[in-house]
Structure 1
Amino acid sequence: MCGTGVLACAAALRKIFGCGKKFLLFACATDDYGETSNSELMSTTATTARPQPESRLNAVSSRFSDAIFILQASRPGLWSTQVWFFLLPLGQRNVFHSTAFWLGVFYCTFPLGLLLYGWNDCVDFEIDRINPRKGTFLFGARGTLDQLHRLPLAMALVQAPFVLAFLYLVGPKVLLFFAGSIAIGGMLYNWPRYGWKGRPPLELLNQSGYLLVFVLSSWLNGAPQLPWQTMLFSTLFAMHSHLFGEIMDIEPDRTSGRRTTATVIGRIWTKLLIAALLAAECGLVFVFFHDMILSGFLLASSLWFVVDAAFFWRARPYTPGQMKFALLAWNIIALASMPWVWWRASLTVLH
């Protein structure tokens, strides 16, 4: 019955988010992504196909390509941020012997990334075709129509064992986490025509869904929920991170007609908005948590975006190499700061 439920859920979600047959109708008009055209199909069926010696190799290659696509769809470049959020409620708590802790850490990499970002790839197929960032492990997948059609099923199958494990460890309340992640990260943000993704500035408010990672972490590890000041800081953090991604995507978003905060106010004002959010984060950390190191880092980051907007890149787009460098640098910072975040526990308790 569990398997039947997963399949039914995948079929329903595929229909909702446009990965079904209606979404794929225009596949017949293009061969760009490896689809077989009508003329090729007629030619093939008109002759007797002989077994090809390379057929097995092609099948293995296809499976490998599908695996790479699913892995890229989970946005490995953002795994460290998700794990960083998972660790935040656990400052100075001895959780490293706990199976629930390590299961949660692993879940916040590939499985959670696939749940949160897989819908984007289904809905954003046409935009991703012209986005130079896509098709990478850092920034996400650029799948074929056939791969996108199968993606919701893969997402459901990946989630199923964690739903069962977390039900055993936490109880029925953990279903609220999965329901909230699907509702906020999937439906509210990506729903065709009505989703917040194309309704600035609502797409920024949608980033508050990342707070569910804190809730899951506290439940799995028996830790108290974080104070509202930490929740507010983390929401602002997620918003400024999302804005930085929008800056990178201004050109493909404008070409496709998508409205985002960055396409509406422009690159310079978006950088200044990021600077303002970072300054607000700095103020929260300094006033409520008295963490001079973290507040100093946030202030320096805020000043950097002001200088960037005024003197350096200004309204010029970043190159793909610069985008990769920025995300790689952030991953290094996130990974290096994890032990410090746990040891200091500066955002866990008010001072």
Structure 2
Amino acid sequence: MKLHKVLAQAGLGSRTDMEQAIAAGRVTVNGEVAHVGQRVAPGDVVRLDGKRVAWQATARRLPRVLAYHKPTGEVVTLDDPENRPTVFRNLPRLRSGKWMAVGRLDINTEGLLLFTDSGELANRLMHPRFGLEREYAVRVLGALSAPERQRLLDGVELEDGPARFSTLEEAGGDGANRWYRVTIAEGRNREVRRLFEAVGHAVSRLIRVRYGAVVLPRGLRRGAFIELPAADVKALLQASGLDSAAPPAPPPRRPRTPRGAGPRPSRPPAPRPARAPMEARPSERRSGGVLPGAGAAAGKAAGAGRPPRGAGARRAAAPSTPASARSARGGNAGSDRTRTGPARNARRSSGRRSG
């Protein structure tokens, strides 16, 4: 496997960045300085700037992808010279590698922003060759005329080359403010704003609502993120031409349940000998603390073989106390049987005399 590809999959940067790091002598393999185009095999020790790279485990798993709801006022950079809040402060920490933003949103733009720990995936998702659409909700001052709409769809010459919208639809609005939904197949700096400004309309609000097949999750608050499930990550890999290298997804982790908060998800218990039915204890009937979907499976597993409520659920009556036990407690019943020796003989002789 190519060394620069291993480093990119480990989330340390793009393939180009890793080739430059190799050329600069910052990468070693088994203690020797690596060269561009070098291949590595399982067991090789790879280090970048002296730090060991866990590339074998990284290469076999699916990349991680986050969907983040960026608010206005945040910048998409690790270190801001003006000390403004950055999007990276709200992301979870990685044991190895780093999060890379898939494209950028300027400080006044909000909405969907993707992050991944795979430099290769990030580069492919951003590359114009793969044509992943970006969809935006745009609020502008004043309604577009028919010629202006057509011009935005046909193409406008900007400072860095021609640009156009793939689709443009009206989305309502009140008074002078009008909303539009637009899609574009690339992500140049402030491209959506510059296109509207080219036809004489200033953008007052801009929200990215979709990137490729990933839609901004409904209900995801600003400044929060969710991690995409394996199925969505595989769809992104396929859209970027990396599906052939996608490994099987690891089994999902079961949510931890607080002690006493309900049955844990487990396999159905092995069959046991039949015994008298009894009601479930309250702790066995609770299902709190299990996430939606997992609670039903946990309830089935913990309740396998349990009789339905009301079907002979009464406790069996306690067995009667043996006579020997009652006599030991000093009861009257059976007291004659406990008298032995002289006491019994004296009673018999007195009975004969009275007869």
Normalised to the residue count of structure 2, the TM-score between the two structures is 0.21
Relative contact order (alpha carbons < 8 A, sep ≥ 6): 1 or 2 greater?
1
Structure with greater strand percent: 2
Rg comparison, structure with higher value: 2
Structure with greater helix percent: 1
Normalised to the residue count of structure 1, the TM-score between the two structures is 0.21
